[in-house]
Amino acid sequence: MFRDLVDGLDSHSTEPGKLLDVPFVPTDEDVIEAMLNLGEVGPKDVLYDLGSGDGRILITAAKKRGTHGIGVEIDPLRIADAMDEAGRNRLEYLVDFIEEDIFTVDFSAATVVTLYLLESINVQLRPRLLSELHPGTRIISHAFGMGDWKADEQLELRGGNLRGISIYKWIVPAQVAGVWEWDDLNNQRYRVALRQQYQAITGSAWLADKAMNLKYAKLCGNRLELEIQDGKTAALNTFTLIFKNNELQSVLEDA
């Protein structure tokens, strides 16, 4: 489908303001359902669809899940189609469609973002997605990845005409690189020095001035799970570090 149409297009210019060069291919209803399920989209979400076309993703989410949504589209004819369809379904109070450039529009209010774009465009959007969306925001892409930002989840559809279609999910990570300290329940001082590439975390750990083994680190949104061990046989000490505004807000400890 879309990928077949754009095999040669992804090497062409995809400068901001050129999104009309990307062919409009309607998303299959089963793919939409799979995207919304993977994103765990619900009535409390604010869904932004970047390159919304005829609006079917937002309209489906509003109709079936009560989700508020904003469609961003540069083609005024597609916006008119989307508004007409929203009106026929009496969903104007849940969805809106705006004629703006996806490279400049403010999407910071989103809790979920959906994409059906070229990978090269996803990569151009990536810095803004990482810096302007709140940690924990879900990004769902139909068919195309995000360069070297590995998806947190990837779903391969297998039914009928959908065989071979991939859907990708990323969870926007907090920025946690740096040195962080906290006291455990026994008033012992822990310290970690963390390195970060997207959601992948590596680093070192200490208890007081003693080097420890950082066995495990998993970042999901603003929550960082750590397992720290003294040597190879001692019991694991498990902590969840919660970040806000790029600062360590609180620490939970498994007693």
CATH number of residue 6's parent domain: 3.40.50.150
**Cα 120 from chain centre:** 17
Q: Which amino acid is at 3?
A: R
Q: Any idea which of 55-59, 113-117, 137-141, 232-236 has the lowest mean pLDDT?
A: 232-236
Q: Which domain, by its residues, includes 193?
A: 178-253
223 is written with which tokens? Answer: 């929550």
pTM for the whole structure:
0.90
Tens of pLDDT, residues 163-209: 789 999 999 999 999 999 999 999 999 999 999 999 999 999 999 99
Average confidence score pLDDT of the chain? 91
Virtual torsion, Cα 114, 218, 192, 126, nearest 10 deg:
-20
Is residue 171 within 8 Å of 220, Cβ to Cβ? yes
129 shares its domain with 222: no
39 shares its domain with 161: yes
- Which of 147, 171, 195 finishes a domain? 171
54 shares its domain with 154: yes
Number of domains in the chain: 2
Backbone angles phi, psi at 146, to 5 degrees: -135, 45
164 shares its domain with 201: no
Strands 153-156 and 189-197: unpaired
108 is written with which tokens? Answer: 């910071």
Structure confidence at residue 38 (pLDDT): 98
158 is written with which tokens? Answer: 């297998």
Virtual torsion, Cα 56, 127, 174, 219, nearest 10 deg:
80
Tens of pLDDT, residues 26-74: 788 999 999 999 999 999 999 999 999 999 999 999 999 999 999 999 9
Q: Which amino acid is at 228?
A: I
pLDDT at 22 over 90: no
The H-assigned helical ranges of 70-113 are 76-88
Is residue 97 within 8 Å of 130, Cβ to Cβ? no
End-to-end, the C-alpha distance of the chain in Å comes to 52
159 shares its domain with 67: yes
128 shares its domain with 219: no
**If we measure between CA atoms, which residue out of 155, 171, 152 comes closest to residue 113?**
171
Backbone angles phi, psi at 149, to 5 degrees: -85, 100
- Which of 171, 203, 238 finishes a domain? 171
- Which of 102, 137, 171 finishes a domain? 171
